[in-house]
Amino acid sequence: MTEREPLLAALEWQLAAGVNEVVGFEPADRFAPPPERKAPPVPPPAPGAAPVVAPPAAAEPASAGDVARTADLDALRELLLAFDGCALKKTATNTVFGEGPAGARLMIVGEAPGADEDRQGRPFVGPSGRLLERMLAAIGLGREDVYIANTVYWRPPGNRTPSAEEVEACRPFIDRQIALVAPEVLMLTGGAAAKTLLGTTEGIMRLRGRWQRFGTPGGPVDVMPTFHPAFLLRSPARKREAWRDLLAVRARLESGAP
């Protein structure tokens, strides 16, 4: 047997097994680790290419001093829209800043936006807002005559009561908002708003109907705590007391003095 015969026999066997192409002359070791891959060289920058500029640092959060230095309501609104110090902002649909004419003689402050307010971005809309408008009309005022806001600017999930931390985060803004509006009379609707701004632990049943004072850089403002319209919708028998509070507000506005 010549040396070629075993080679030809092996070739015939491979052909019978279906081999019809030669892929290499060296045997491949399928158990060997793969060769290391080298990263392709980075080409030099093209002549005249613009330098890479680092992104600007994050803006510093607004401080109480920044809020106190705002010159008007528009500047205060812009500062509030950029403010991220209250967790409620992350879950709310809209920031409910407030609305009405600067310099309004009467300012109304509630606790926090509800579902309707959050959806529209306006304070006191929906059933509570419609009742408030009827209450104002009863003493000869329209919604466009008063400034309306809340002590908290974003709706708490599920309309829960805002936490002390959430109220405290918003406090510099509502204080400045009252100072910029500079009303003659401040009407606080509901126990939460009254407790926040008057710094008291008394409930609205004891506070309502009794004149208070709220200090601002421009001087003290007369304050009338009363029931929230949402409470009056649930407890219509209390409307008689709320009517007396409204009459007291009208008398104070008409007299222009305590």
Greater confidence, 48 or 3? 3
pLDDT digits (tens, 9 = 90+) for 218-230: 999 999 999 999 9
Structure confidence at residue 249 (pLDDT):
97
CB 105 within 8 A of CB 188: no
8 Å CB contact between 116 and 157: no
Report how many helices (DSSP H) and strands (DSSP E) the chain contains, helices first: 11, 5
**pLDDT-based confidence at 34, cuts 50/70/90?**
low
**Residue 236 Cα distances to 138, 175, 243, angstroms:** 16, 31, 11
Q: pLDDT by residue (tens digit) across 52-61?
A: 444 443 344 5
Q: Which CATH superfamily is domain 64-255 in?
A: Uracil-DNA glycosylase-like domain (3.40.470.10)
Q: Is residue 32 over pLDDT 70?
A: no
The predicted-structure confidence for 93-137, as pLDDT tens digits, reads as follows 999 999 999 999 999 999 999 999 999 999 999 999 999 999 999
Domain boundaries, the chain: 64-255
Please report how many Cα atoms fall inside a 13 Å half-sphere around the Cα of residue 104, on the Cβ side.
25
Tokens coding 223:
């304050």
Look at residue 45 in the predicted model and tell me its pLDDT: 52
3-state DSSP assignment of residue 161: coil
